[in-house]
């Protein structure tokens, strides 16, 4: 008899995959470029300081080599400054669309983990019928069921049981259909507060918000390509931005016109054909601004202005009538502001999360994934 040996589990100390000098520096560079809102020169200055402190480069591979590789690989391009001034020859470095995609992908991996791409329209509902996803459950064939839904294995088994193997026959009563679930499609508008308070009090709140936006857009465009995602920013006013603009997003000397953001979000969603629609709003402060019919601005940063918050509650109720739930991610723990968010969410029958900067991405992802599993209109 031949002896056979069994192999068990073997435990070893984890060894990180080997990275090239370029890949190591590129991971850091992508992180820095988000913090500098796309300013390449500032990001490279920071990278040089980190190199001096931590010895990131070697004599065989310097920062100059890294910059040249960025250019050769298509991650950087040179542009002439309008005033003709720049680094050395009057040119300045800019990131390319390839870099923007790499930044979004890194944000997705950082916040949501490495998710594999799947087919479109993966938002499951509880409704069964002619859908896309098999449930593993069977029922008798009914008039109107399409032939591609018939389970041939189960139907043949039924025919053998009912008619015997020797005299095989199959009729309508033998047919079995496998149940499927509809896969709902989702239209999402992500609202990002870019008022000045997003960088006040020594805390950078806009960078985590940008990362969440980039990760969410990358998730939707790669894993759920039939879904739609629109990004809008709101300060004194509200306006849409494209996905490629996200790395360059910065705050301004703005107040917080939440009403303008909600109006624009609902205008966008009204034009969407998808049944399932939702608004995600990332903000750190109270609404403090309204644009009046004559074009002037009504502003009040002291406390919760009754006129402004009532308009917010009205917008929340309008969204509820349109079956558009609003999920608010409040980057603050102020009980005074939490009271406003609670009333706002109650008017919409939406949800609110009170989160620090570290938990923001996980909460946005979890809520999006939960919403895609059900028909949020119901």
State whether 173 and 244 are in the same domain.
no
Looking at the chain, the whole-number percentage of residues with pLDDT higher than 90 is 50
State whether 149 and 219 are in the same domain.
no
Q: Structurally, how many domains does the chain consist of? A: 3
State whether 337 and 190 are in the same domain.
yes
Give the integer Cα–Cα distance in Å for 21 and 338: 47
User: Does any domain span residue 138?
Assistant: yes
State whether 207 and 307 are in the same domain.
yes
pLDDT at 118 over 60: no
State whether 196 and 343 are in the same domain.
yes
pLDDT at 24 over 70: yes
User: Does any domain span residue 106?
Assistant: no
State whether 68 and 148 are in the same domain.
no
Looking at residue 132, what is its pLDDT? 46
- Domain containing 144 equals 126-182
**What's the rounded mean pLDDT across residues 158-184?**
76
User: Does any domain span residue 103?
Assistant: no
pLDDT at 347 over 50: yes
State whether 178 and 198 are in the same domain.
no
Q: How confident is the model at residue 374 (pLDDT cuts 50, 70, 90)?
A: low
Express each pLDDT in 321-346 by its tens digit: 999 999 998 887 778 888 899 999 99
State whether 232 and 280 are in the same domain.
yes
User: Does any domain span residue 113?
Assistant: no
Q: Which residues have CB under 8 Å from 23's CB, separation 6+? A: none
User: Does any domain span residue 6?
Assistant: no
User: Does any domain span residue 305?
Assistant: yes
Q: Is the pLDDT higher at 17 or at 67? A: 67
Looking at residue 165, what is its pLDDT? 75
Q: How confident is the model at residue 199 (pLDDT cuts 50, 70, 90)?
A: confident
**What's the rounded mean pLDDT across residues 24-30?**
96
Q: How confident is the model at residue 164 (pLDDT cuts 50, 70, 90)?
A: confident
Q: What is the pTM of this model?
A: 0.74
Looking at residue 175, what is its pLDDT? 87
State whether 300 and 334 are in the same domain.
yes
State whether 265 and 330 are in the same domain.
yes
User: Does any domain span residue 249?
Assistant: yes
State whether 170 and 197 are in the same domain.
no
**What's the rounded mean pLDDT across residues 68-95?**
80
Q: What is the dihedral of CA 104, 109, 115, 118, to 10 degrees?
A: 10
User: Does any domain span residue 378?
Assistant: no
pLDDT, mean over the chain: 83
């Amino acid at each position: 008899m031949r002896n056979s040996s069994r192999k068990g589990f073997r435990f070893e100390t984890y060894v990180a995959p080997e990275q090239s000098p370029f890949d190591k520096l590129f991971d850091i560079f992508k992180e820095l470029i988000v913090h500098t809102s796309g300013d390449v020169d500032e990001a490279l200055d920071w990278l040089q300081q980190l190199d001096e402190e931590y010895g990131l480069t070697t004599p065989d591979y310097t920062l100059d080599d890294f910059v040249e590789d960025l250019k050769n690989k298509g991650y950087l391009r040179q542009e002439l400054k309008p005033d003709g001034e720049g680094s050395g020859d009057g040119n300045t470095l800019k990131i390319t669309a390839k870099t923007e995609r790499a930044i979004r992908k890194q944000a997705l991996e950082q916040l949501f983990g490495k998710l594999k791409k799947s087919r479109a329209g993966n938002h499951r509902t509880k409704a069964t019928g002619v859908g896309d996803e098999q449930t593993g459950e069977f029922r008798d064939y009914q008039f109107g069921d399409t032939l591609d839904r018939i389970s041939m294995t189960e139907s043949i088994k039924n025919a053998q049981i009912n008619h015997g193997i020797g005299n095989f026959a199959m009729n309508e009563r033998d047919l079995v259909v496998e149940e499927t679930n509809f896969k709902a499609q989702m239209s999402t508008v992500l609202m990002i507060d870019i008022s000045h308070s997003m960088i006040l009090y020594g805390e950078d709140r806009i960078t985590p918000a940008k990362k969440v936006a980039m990760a969410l857009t990358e998730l939707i465009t790669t894993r759920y390509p039939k879904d739609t995602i629109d990004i809008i920013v709101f300060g004194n006013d509200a306006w849409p931005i494209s996905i490629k603009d996200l790395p360059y997003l910065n705050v301004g000397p703005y107040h917080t016109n939440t009403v303008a953001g909600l109006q624009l979000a609902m205008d966008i969603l009204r034009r969407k054909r998808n049944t399932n629609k939702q608004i995600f709003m990332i903000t750190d402060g109270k609404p403090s601004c309204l644009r009046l019919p004559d074009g002037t601005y009504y502003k009040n940063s002291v406390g919760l202005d009754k006129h402004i918050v009532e308009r917010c509650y009205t917008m929340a109720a309008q969204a509820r009538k349109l079956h558009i739930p609003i999920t608010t991610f409040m980057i603050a723990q102020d009980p005074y502001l939490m009271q406003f968010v609670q009333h706002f969410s109650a008017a919409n029958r939406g949800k609110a999360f009170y989160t620090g900067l570290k938990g923001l991405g996980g909460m946005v992802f979890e809520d999006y994934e939960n919403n895609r599993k059900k028909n949020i209109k119901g």
